[in-house]
Amino acid sequence: MPPIILAYAKMLMIWFFMTSYSPDVGLLQASPNVEAGIYYIHSDNYLANMDVSQFDIPPLAKWTVLRDSAVVSEEVFAYTSKFIDLGNGVRSEVDDPSGSLDWDNWADRVLLAAINARNAGDPEREVELMAIAHEMWDGRCLRDKYYYWHLEEYGLGACETYKTALYYYMTGDKGALRQILKMQERDHRSNRFGGIYTHYGDDGKPFPWTDVNIETTAVVLLTLGR
């Protein structure tokens, strides 16, 4: 991929952040349509490298391995999360260790755990985890538990762009990169301009109902800096 194409894509993502910022709240709006007027501290603004120090809430531990190259206990990737409503449209997620996931069936958890292993200098564990991710990857999409749940529930599998971005981060797979860039809104007349759509189908195209959002766009921007 020519560097100028990646540079342009990144520039548009930053533009999307700029147009999503609310000076009254001091945060980025989650999405222009589906969650207009909603501001998530974690994962959105933390991932977008905004100053969230005014909120005395720790980031979701799973995201620190990508955002800050942290090393965490692997059990973190099994934690569920719960939402906190802080008023004025501001919300956050916090780790909920009381709940747990069969995390090795969820592509994002597997890939974040692999990033964690890389951060920890544990190549053997990284290889083990990436073997699971490779099994899920079909060249365009990660077919994990969410994909198959959506297939059973709605009759079509659903791919999540941020997972594809994490796969690209770990592998440099060119097909994954092409798919990520296809998910960016390039119409300057759209209020979604520069953002990354969250869900797509087996044809590689965004679902009609999907929106761009800060979390997905921030993860993509972080992973393009690999």
Q: What is the pLDDT along the chain (226 residues), one digit of tens a residue?
A: 678 889 999 999 999 999 999 999 999 999 999 999 999 998 899 999 999 998 988 889 999 999 999 999 999 999 999 999 999 999 999 999 988 899 999 999 999 999 999 999 999 999 999 999 999 999 999 999 999 999 999 999 999 999 999 999 999 999 999 999 999 999 999 999 999 999 999 999 999 999 999 999 999 999 998 5
pLDDT at residue 1, as a whole number:
67
From residue 60, alpha-carbon distances to 94, 97, 154, 187 in Å are 6, 11, 30, 33
Q: What's the rounded Cα separation, in Å, for the pair 160 and 163? A: 6
* Confidence (pTM): 0.96
Give residue 51's domain range. 3-223
Total count of domains within the chain = 1
Q: Which residue has the tokens 């999307």?
A: 16
Residues present in the chain in total: 226
pLDDT at residue 100, as a whole number:
86
Q: What's the rounded Cα separation, in Å, for the pair 94 and 176? A: 30
Q: Which helix (H) or strand (E) holds 82?
A: strand 79-87
Q: With contact defined as beta carbons under 8 Å apart, do 225 and 172 qualify?
A: no
From residue 2, alpha-carbon distances to 6, 16, 84, 174, 220 in Å are 7, 22, 42, 12, 17
